[in-house]
Amino acid sequence: MPKHLYLIFIATFIFGLVSGSVLFLYNNTGGDGDGGITGSSGMSITAHTYGGCEYMGCSSYRIEEGGAYTYIVHNPNGEERRYEDSLTNAEWRTVSAKLSGADLPQVQSSEFTGTCPAYADGISYRYEVVYKNVSYELDSCEQATEDVPLFETLRRYFEIFNLTHSA
């Protein structure tokens, strides 16, 4: 085989390797809004957005027992803005009442039957709810959370926190 064909094969390989690496890094640096917030024992609610928000920045929050919360907005360029505050006593009582009234084992075993909004660039939600030292991992595209009052309230907090902490 002529020498110039070897050079073409090597140049094509190197170009493909570099192009693939750039595309991989460009598309996989943001991810959904889950970084920086981890679970704990006792009572806590952690919520993450994913799907269409990845282009503008997904957000996540964690509410601890008593109402202290951390809200994080992840920008597509990998930066994050972190805010810490507390819910008012009335807000905390509302969340606590809806949490104690929710049948979390039933919600966890339920099945979402619609079309996941994330499939069409909509926003979907992941939750980790720790209640009475039992952890429930829920996803709005896997479990039927849309009509459960607790999760209606938790989805509303993404908007409330965004309005409260917008720069």
Burial 27-56 (b: 16+ CB within 10 A, else e): eeebebbbeebeeeeebbbbbbbbbbbbee
CATH no., domain 44-164? 3.30.1560
**Nearest residue to 37 via CA among 28, 24, 46:** 46
CA-to-CA dists, residue 165 to 38, 54, 81, angstroms:
21, 19, 9
Q: Residue 24's pLDDT is what?
A: 59
> What is the tens place of the pLDDT at every residue in 88-105?
999 999 999 999 899 999
Q: Return the bridge partners of 127, or none.
A: 47, 138
Which residues have C-beta within 8 Å of that of residue 128, sequence separation ≥ 6?
Answer: 39, 44, 45, 46, 135, 136, 137, 138
10-residue mean pLDDT profile of the chain (167 residues): values are 77 75 53 46 84 83 91 83 91 90 91 87 90 91 90 88 78
pTM above 0.75, yes or no: no
